[in-house]
Amino acid sequence: MDEDQSRGLAFVVEEPGGPHNRFEADKRSNAIVLTGVDLDVPFRSYERGYMADAFGPDGAPIAALVPARVPTFPGCRIRVRPIGMSPSTRRPGQLIVAVPMADSAFDRVAEVDDLPEPIQSAVRAELRCGALGSAETRAYLASVHETTLRLRAAARTGSGPAAWKTGGRTGAIPREGAIEPHTMAERAVPLLPIRFQEYIARELVHDERILMFIQRPAFAPAGTRLVLRRRRLPEAILVLTDRQLMFMADALDPDSTLVHWGYVAQVTAVERIAGATIREDAGAHALEVLVEAKGGTQVLAFPFLNDDAAALLSDAVELLNRFVASPSMRKLRRLYEAQIPPSADTPAWAAESARGAGSLWAETRHGDKLVVDGRSMRVSRKERPEDFASLEIAEVTSLELTLALTGCRLAAFAPAHSPVVLDIDFDYPQASEFLAIFTVLRQLLDQPLESTCHEHSEAPR
């Protein structure tokens, strides 16, 4: 690794060296808040954690020990200078030993042998197999630097570990300049039911980041004077990322064998969001999100139980409203490539429908056809295979994808269009094919409305 001697490398504390305070960042007050005190942690002369700037071939951060005369706290980021390493007997891979650059007591420490007692004995007891010198350590860190760059590039291009995946307990590859590798929501994803983890993994692209999620248990909303009994709503999860708002619900409740039948995903791009609010209705809270497209708007309503989600929904509303654009806004926004590269195996009917532009296409076993290019979505029915119903991407407010063993469907909603919904049914064996098209459609919604209807030049991600 290209170590800057004046700056050192970044180390993140996971296990402090003794009793310590716990803190968290309060985004509302923009301050660090004390959340607890851990008094039962035994005193040690070092702290455990990982190197935030160095990753092994599997994408996992490299474990490290840092001597500490005074305990810090979990998540504390320390600039350190490596002085040795050894194969770890407690964790996979290597174990780095480094000293904190902010503590002048370690300024003259160049090797593990230079550590004062009793710190040296405690560190050697942890290493167990002896220690390699600082020169070997720097050479090792230099060798993993290339791996780190490769994994970062893979996360951006979609050929490696997804940026939002934590890779277990400590996390995966951070973006350039990121202070922490993962958001709190990303760290909590492994705690979700397995099926919801699978749903999220299917729907997110590799460079997407999860900002928050709200899990909803299955429940039956209270009746009203007009409706004495409402249907039971399935278990669901609301996920907000830096690119989309997504609500995924079980298509059917998992049976006694814990087999899940699939899900229904309702999605819009954050660039389409025009406002968010909370509405109370018969003992439940509904998150209502106004989404806007060319010529019309749509209100997406997601019901939740009052007691379980009220505070989280308030946070969601605050976060969603930050995406709302205004005429006076001067913030930089992302611009994604909207062109679909041409393919040599495109059938004649798809190429003709796309008018020579690159396209994605699919044909169901019933004979219905779907074509998507950078500007539009077209569907034809088997009864009239040459007659394609067309919908501009700029007119689409939201998408819905049903992937279930009982039936599958892809639908686009356009309030200003007639009919409002353009959809196509398909069989579950074609799920991966239509999921790929759905993902491209969802990314096309990222385009600004004034640009979606025109030709796009190449724009970097």
Positive or negative: CA dihedral 200, 201, 205, 208? positive
Q: Residues 52-90: pLDDT tens digits?
A: 766 665 556 788 899 988 899 888 889 999 888 875 434
Reported confidence tier of residue 383, pLDDT bands at 50, 70, 90 = confident
| Helical H segments across 158-188, by residue range | 184-188
What pLDDT is recorded for position 302?
Answer: 93
CA-based nearest residue to 270, from 200, 349, 346, 209:
209
What pLDDT is recorded for position 306?
Answer: 65
CA–CA gap between residue 239 and residue 185 (Å, rounded): 9
CA-based nearest residue to 261, from 408, 435, 427, 405:
405
Positive or negative: CA dihedral 368, 392, 409, 210? positive
Reported confidence tier of residue 382, pLDDT bands at 50, 70, 90 = confident
**pLDDT of 339 strictly over 80:** no
Domains and CATH numbers, the chain: 9-146 (3.90.80.10), 193-321 (2.30.29.30), 348-452 (2.30.29.30)
**pLDDT of 351 strictly over 90:** no
Position with higher pLDDT, 28 vs 394? 394
Position with higher pLDDT, 37 vs 99? 99
**pLDDT of 11 strictly over 80:** yes
Tokens 């509302």, residue? Answer: 28
Reported confidence tier of residue 452, pLDDT bands at 50, 70, 90 = very low
Instruction: Specify whether the CB–CB gap between 115 and 123 falls below 8 A.
Output: yes
Strands 398-404 and 389-392: unpaired
Instruction: Specify whether the CB–CB gap between 43 and 18 falls below 8 A.
Output: yes
CA-based nearest residue to 372, from 459, 438, 293:
438
| Helical H segments across 6-133, by residue range | 119-127
Tokens 């904190």, residue? Answer: 100
Position with higher pLDDT, 36 vs 156? 36
Mean pLDDT of 166-189: 64
Mean pLDDT (the chain, rounded): 78
The CA distances from residue 56 to 87, 113, 159, 172, 181, in Å, are: 13, 26, 17, 10, 15
- φ/ψ (deg, to 5) at 403: -120, 100
CA-based nearest residue to 217, from 237, 240, 243, 198:
237
What pLDDT is recorded for position 67?
Answer: 92
What pLDDT is recorded for position 278?
Answer: 92
DSSP lists the bridge partners of residue 301 as 288
Mean pLDDT of 410-435: 89
CA–CA gap between residue 46 and residue 62 (Å, rounded): 16
What pLDDT is recorded for position 247?
Answer: 96
CA–CA gap between residue 126 and residue 68 (Å, rounded): 15
pTM beyond cutoff 0.85:
no
**pLDDT of 299 strictly over 60:** yes
Q: Write the single-letter amino acid at 373.
A: D
What pLDDT is recorded for position 422?
Answer: 92
Q: Residues 105-131: pLDDT tens digits?
A: 999 998 888 898 888 888 888 776 666
What pLDDT is recorded for position 144?
Answer: 62
